[in-house]
Chains A and B, each alone.
Chain A
Amino acid sequence: MNLYEQQSANRRRTWLVMFAFVGFLVVLGLGFDTFYLGGVGGNVPIGSIVALSVGSISAVTSYFTGDRAVLLATGAKPIAEVGASASEPDKLKLHQLDNIVDEMTIASGLPRPRVYIVPDPDPNAFATGRGPEHASIAVTRGLLDTLDRDELQGVIAHEMSHIKNLDVRVMTVVAALVGAVALLSDWARRGMWSGGGSGKRSDRREGGGAAGLVFFVIWIVAVALAPFLAQALAMLVSRRREYLADASGAELTRNPIGLARALEKIDAAVAPTQAINRGSAHMCIADPLGRQVNLKGDGFWSNLFASHPPMAARIAALKEMAFLPEGHGGR
């Protein structure tokens, strides 16, 4: 796949994710209509209308402000803000990060992304935004403290590639919508229990009949499964692209070993990244939840539930790249 194909595939995927989300909400809304409003004046499908509008609005919002939501959720701060109150050696490190981003901006030919620092001691990094003109790169404190210059450059190049091929767009929209689904299904479940308990609601439900019951069951299943489905979706879009971003990142720096060593160090730090929650796990350079499946092979379960390919395989692929015959790539 060349860059152009990757970009158009990602545009398509973004649309798909947003439509799937709206469609899912409409199913929930239909369930609400049949279940709650079944017999009593069910002419006006309030639930469906509300679901459709809420779904569309959150899909559009996730597209335009998803990056801000993700950065806010991780507690990321702009590098200038962090640098203002930093110690002398710390300032040097932050300045180095700024320099590296400048270098990668030149190498990739993209506009310069904004840089954020996540206050978390575990090494990790992610990129977010809807495209190269609206992109941000966030690295954790731990990443800055553990990696040397070449390694940091490899990580930034990896994130730059995610921005260049528009992976960030899909990942940001998915992150924002996964958050929305979790919120909504939580909400719906709570509403259901309290509703089911009260006498008034059960009167109405009897009016629904058999069709209403079927819908009710589907609805419950949908509400219960929503977070898992959303999670599976997020993982589906994340794994293969990590290899791609590793490879094109190495192309930018012309130094695959830098990134390979960075991944080794990130892998060695087993502590989970606290600041990054489930919803945005797929955006990071390494699985922030530190799940054990990440380390083991390519088994069925690891394929289903890991948001990232096994680290060992990624490192091996990068090391293989480094053994290219000398004199290629103008190094």
Chain B
Amino acid sequence: MPGLILLVVVVALVIWAIASYNRLVGLRNQVLNGWRQIDVQLKRRHDLIPNLVNAVRGSMDFERDTLTAVMEARAKALTATGPADAAQKENQLSQALGKLFALAENYPTLKSNENVKALMEELSTTENKVGFARQFYNDIATKFNTVQQVFPTNIFAGIFGFKPAELFEITDAAERAVPVVDLGRKAQS
């Protein structure tokens, strides 16, 4: 009789282990799929930027600093490893691009150039798509991480070697920091 009970318990444990393993695999694939959606757009953005820079270079020659900053940010973004790293570097690239877009407003020849307009439209849409896909990715990644961390699935997650997924969000401390407004010093000077 104790043998039978033991058998039942063991079978129940095995079934439960299989179920949680499959659930974890399913979630991990969803996370990967979500990341792929972001990654596709990021790659597209990296491909578009040199074209844009070449197209505007002639008209915006004396804004060379801005153009260099964009290219440097792009080069950095290409070396990103994993979502968290990518999020930070892509954010810097977005800022550099934003500055370029704002400056381009001052050049009527650029604003009426079909090629430049088309490139800017493509870059805007990839940036928007990254933004909208990020939400989905972070939701599913958080769910995956939660399942890994709750008891008792955490035991199996450890045994099977599941790793928590990185979130795609801005982790830059400078970005997050509350700006310090030093009123005292200003009053003195």
Q: Report A's interface with B, CB cutoff 8 A.
A: 88-89, 92, 95-96, 99-100, 102-104, 106-107, 109, 149, 153, 330
Are A99 and B132 neighbours in the complex by a CB distance under 8 Å? no
Are B125 and A102 neighbours in the complex by a CB distance under 8 Å? yes
Contacts of A100 in B (CB 8 A): 125
* Contact residue among A89, A102, A103, A153 (Cβ-Cβ distance under 8 Å from B114): A89
6 A–B contact pairs at CB < 8 A? A99-B125, A102-B129, A103-B128, A107-B132, A149-B124, A330-B135
* Contact residue among B121, B128, B135 (Cβ-Cβ distance under 8 Å from A95): B121
- Contact of A106 with B37 at beta-carbon distance under 8 Å, contacts A88-B114, A92-B118 already known: yes
Q: Tell me whether B71 is interfacial, beta carbon within 8 Å.
A: no
Q: Which residue of A lies closest to B136 (CB)?
A: A109
Contacts of B132 in A (CB 8 A): 103-104, 106-107
Q: Which residue of B lies closest to A95 (CB)?
A: B121
Q: Which residue of B lies closest to A153 (CB)?
A: B128
Q: Compute how far the CA of A14 lies from the CA of B131 in the bound complex, rounded to whole angstroms.
A: 35
The 8 closest A-B pairs by CB, nearest first: A99-B125, A107-B132, A106-B132, A103-B128, A106-B133, A96-B121, A103-B129, A106-B129
Q: Which residue of A lies closest to B124 (CB)?
A: A149
Q: Compute how far the CA of A103 lies from the CA of B122 in the bound complex, rounded to whole angstroms.
A: 12
Q: Compute how far the CA of A153 lies from the CA of B121 in the bound complex, rounded to whole angstroms.
A: 13
Q: Compute how far the CA of A102 lies from the CA of B121 in the bound complex, rounded to whole angstroms.
A: 13
Q: Compute how far the CA of A104 lies from the CA of B135 in the bound complex, rounded to whole angstroms.
A: 13
Contacts of A104 in B (CB 8 A): 132
Are A92 and B121 neighbours in the complex by a CB distance under 8 Å? yes
Contacts of A96 in B (CB 8 A): 121, 125
- 6 additional contacts (CB under 8 A) given A92-B118, A103-B129: A92-B121, A99-B121, A106-B129, A106-B136, A107-B135, A153-B128
Contacts of B125 in A (CB 8 A): 96, 99-100, 102-103
Which residues of chain B from 114 to 147 have a CB within 8 Å of any chain A CB? 114, 117-118, 121-122, 124-125, 128-129, 132-133, 135-136
Contacts of B114 in A (CB 8 A): 88-89, 92
Q: Compute how far the CA of A227 lies from the CA of B128 in the bound complex, rounded to whole angstroms.
A: 45
Contacts of B37 in A (CB 8 A): 106
Q: Which residue of B lies closest to A99 (CB)?
A: B125
Q: Compute how far the CA of A88 lies from the CA of B93 in the bound complex, rounded to whole angstroms.
A: 30
Q: Compute how far the CA of A149 lies from the CA of B124 in the bound complex, rounded to whole angstroms.
A: 10
Q: Compute how far the CA of A99 lies from the CA of B114 in the bound complex, rounded to whole angstroms.
A: 17
Q: Which residue of B lies closest to A329 (CB)?
A: B135
